Amino acid sequence: MIFDVQTILKTEGARANVQVSLLPPEEFSGGEIEFCGELSFSGVIENVGGVLELSGEAKGSFAVPCARCMKITTQHYCVAISETYAHENAEGVDLEAVLTFVGTSIDLGEAIWPNVLLSIDTKYLCQPSCKGLCPMCGADLNETSCDCAEDEIDPRLAGLADLLK
């Protein structure tokens, strides 16, 4: 989402409210995480000493497989965003520590989406009491029980079982 900052750049201390909806970038599709529709961002962009400070909150949802039973579960996120933009010709600014822009518009997606991705955990459960899958037969233990022996010991570790007797 390209946002025009021409009026903000002219005056130090100038602010603009930002209310946008962003679709996930194409490179996010086809992975384990599938974003559900648009992300909504609500925040403010302000000219502070010649750099632009973006702050606000991004909200949305995504679908991901449960870490125990592999059923698809929908999760919601709410991420605080705080990023700094500087013009690529700005002096006195560490350009490696900020997002840069050319001209009078910025790409909000380059600030928002990386923050969303970093906030997503590596594992989610469909429910806190999810029993998962049987390691022997693969049955979903939330829906059924199986007759697999629970105390089956890997023969390579059988010697360690004697220590517990």
What integer is the mean pLDDT of 108-122? 92
Whether 45 and 11 have beta carbons less than 8 Å apart is answered as: no
Distances (CA, A) of 105 to 9, 31, 100, 153: 10, 30, 10, 63
Are residue 162 and residue 118 in the same domain, yes or no? Answer: no
Confidence at residue 146, expressed as pLDDT on a 0 to 100 scale: 86
Strand 34-35 relative to strand 51-65: parallel, antiparallel, unpaired? antiparallel
- pLDDT for 46 beyond 80: yes
Which of 23-27, 88-92, 119-123 has the least mean pLDDT? 88-92
Are residue 97 and residue 155 in the same domain, yes or no? Answer: no
Structure-block tokens of residue 154: 């890997």
Q: Provide the domain count of the chain.
A: 2
Length of the chain: 165
What integer is the mean pLDDT of 2-17? 89
Are residue 147 and residue 122 in the same domain, yes or no? Answer: no
What is the secondary structure of 35-101 as a DSSP string?
E-S-EEEEEEEEEETTEEEEEEEEEEEEEEE-TTT--EEEEEEEEEEEEEEEETT-SSS-TTSSEEE
Are residue 55 and residue 116 in the same domain, yes or no? Answer: yes
List 83's β-bridge partners, or say none. Answer: 54
Are residue 147 and residue 99 in the same domain, yes or no? Answer: no
Q: In which domain, by residue range, is 28 found?
A: 2-127
Residue predicted with more confidence, 58 or 149: 58
Confidence at residue 92, expressed as pLDDT on a 0 to 100 scale: 77
Which of 19-23, 27-31, 38-42, 103-107 has the least mean pLDDT? 27-31
Are residue 73 and residue 116 in the same domain, yes or no? Answer: yes
Are residue 101 and residue 142 in the same domain, yes or no? Answer: no
Are residue 9 and residue 54 in the same domain, yes or no? Answer: yes
Neighbours of 154 (CB within 10 A): 8
Structure-block tokens of residue 151: 């105390």
Are residue 120 and residue 150 in the same domain, yes or no? Answer: no
Indicate the pLDDT class of residue 151, thresholds 50, 70 and 90: low
Are residue 14 and residue 88 in the same domain, yes or no? Answer: yes
pTM: 0.78
- pLDDT for 27 beyond 90: no
- pLDDT for 164 beyond 80: no
- Residues 51-102: tens digit of each pLDDT: 899 999 999 999 999 999 999 999 999 999 999 998 888 777 787 888 888 8
d(CA 30, CA 157): 40
Are residue 74 and residue 135 in the same domain, yes or no? Answer: no
Are residue 21 and residue 72 in the same domain, yes or no? Answer: yes
Distances (CA, A) of 31 to 11, 23, 35, 104: 43, 16, 10, 34
